[in-house]
Structure 1
Amino acid sequence: MTEATATATAGAGAATASPRYTRANPFPARLVVNRRLSGPESEKDTRHFEVDLSGWGLSFEVGDSLAVYPTNDPELVDEIIHTLGATGDEQVPRPKGEPTTFREALLRDYSITQPTPKFLRAIAERASAAPTLTYLLAPNRKQDLETYLWGMEIVDFLSDHPSARFAPKEFVGLLTKLQPRLYSVASSLRAYPDQVHFIVDVVRYESNGRLRKGVCSSFLAERADDVPVPVFPTVAKHFHLPDDPNTPIIMVGPGTGVAPFRAYLQERQVA
């Protein structure tokens, strides 16, 4: 799904009074329900989240998505800082805005899981011995590199190649900006005014002896109860219900999950 800025129409009487929430100006929502749907015996952790949008002033249609800005796992941030021999208090540039501390930048501004090509090249150049990585960075080894990188994160390369040293300012220059994640709206504003619901599989798996976590799904499941959850709407123009409520619909979800169809059913019930 292509991301878009917020083009949802404003609610009655709110168009001029409410700001337009976008990627650059997300709304500080609150997580009010965080409920596990999977049974205790299930290895899968599927969650039902309810987010309070009081004061939002905008509307969205069922079929649309909401983008969520997560923060990174503080434990992973601390591990990276420790591995680099830093304190976390060093001043570093942000992708946009005034400089901040190394710890805050890793927590809120940069993607710290997936290695970037620039980061991999820097490891290969600085490590005292990284023959496998050097070999796989050759232009004709792209497929082999992708296979090698599966389940590998930035912290793995820092731990495996301690001779590759980076100053905090230099390190963040090898990273990309932390991006929002899109979730299909699983509720109707008609049924639940000032709320949006999500149904999310929390990503957790083991690789190379480490527990890996999805950045945003683990943020919502583990760390969002007492902090603002920045969100903005994205419109799916070709995924809306027909204007005529009597028009039959067939719901097929190849990869989308049940979330948008839960919203469709709620919308039809109150239509």
Structure 2
Amino acid sequence: MSISLKSKNDIEKMKIAGNYAAKVLEYLEDFVQVGISTEEIDNLAYKYITEELKCIPANVGYNDYPKTLCTSINDVICHGIPSDKEILKDGDIVNIDITVIVDGWHGDTSKMFLIGKSKPHVKRLVDITRECMFKGIEVCKPGAFTGDIGYAIQTHAEKNHYSVVKNYCGHGIGKIYHEDPQITHFGNKGEGIKLEEGMVFTIEPMINLGSHKTKLLKDGWTVVTEDGKLSAQWEHTIAITEQGYEILTLREEEK
């Protein structure tokens, strides 16, 4: 698949989609607490997206995925499926990943939520993972390489004694949900694909407390750490601009 470069007008439309995705996470903030099920959170998101934002939840039916959100708790790295049997408990961490479609364009983002009181080492993993994402974003500009992004993320994670998941990566996005380029969260400077103005892709590092090794569960979606230790993830969609980059999925708290 060749890389699709977006025009400035395309990117403005993607910024609208990204803003809507960010709004979903902002809306859910008050509900993601001890005692709620991930199924209830998913239902709230679906209703908000379809009735308030009046746009399309991209995950529903995508490759037969059954829900609006991915909700990945504790040792779940990514693609956790919401369930009425999953009740958030004090001390849990959960990544909520949402993609919406607005006028044919995708907006894709995720954020970590700390449930109740978190132990210091748990909060540290979540905070360092967010820093990893921004370290990757900050090197983006025309002429840089995808390997520069991976190198920045991997260096910061490993410096803090964490490991980087290597089986799953960021991706190009636009009118197609997943397209080239693939954005790995490990790598070497100067390697990979050279970044050009008009590229739009996600940066979504998955950082583990223990080993980087993963295991896919029988549902065909849920990915967990092989050693059962915690994992965290954050995600933004970014566009490469003439001057550097623009984050298309910023929440109000980040502006």
TM-score (norm 1): 0.25
Greater strand share, structure number: 2
* Greater length-normalized contact order (CA 8 Å, ≥ 6 residues apart): 1
